[in-house]
Amino acid sequence: MTHQRQVLYEAMQKMHGHPSPEDVYLRVRRRIPSISLATVYKNIHLFIESGILREVSLHHGSLRVEMNAHAHHHLICVVCKSITDIDEAVLPLAAKPKHLPGGFRAERYAVDVLGRCQACQKEESAQKAS
């Protein structure tokens, strides 16, 4: 736990919502003006990997187009980032209100199941054995 890491953590604890690395950088520079953006990225990743923080959505690097027209949800592997379709009937929502708090009007409900695909589970148990 270095000084930069400590100050980064404390600064982030005071932030709300869903800040970007740039947001965090701008804020922590008030405490450590010499800090590098690369250090911010490295430590955010470290916090995420260690489970202290989580990212809002697993972004797959590039835009992905949905080619499955049926109503479905997604199984997303947090290790290999693979995206698998799963029928909507398997994961029913208790309700799908059209009107939500704050005047938000719902048009579509998407469920992401985050976890580990079979291949990555096997990979990990094989590594643990060695």
Partner DNA sequence: TATTGAACGATAATAATTATTGTTTGTCAA
Partner DNA sequence: TTGACAAACAATAATTATTATCGTTCAATA
CA torsion, ordered 119, 124, 127, 129, to nearest 10 deg = -100
Q: In angstroms, rounded to a whole number, what is the distance separating the alpha carbons of residues 108 and 48?
A: 29
Residues in the chain: 130
From 3-11, 29-37, 45-53, span contacting a second copy (CB under 8 A): 45-53
Using CB under 5 A as the binding rule, whether residue 90 contacts Zn ion is answered as no
User: Tokens 């400590």 sit at which residue?
Assistant: 6
x/- mask, DNA, residues 11-40, rule CB under 7 A, reads ---------xxx---------x-xxxxxx-
Site of interaction with a second copy (CB under 8 A): 12-13, 15-22, 24, 44, 47-48, 53-57, 59-68, 74-75, 77-78, 83-86, 90-95, 100-118, 121
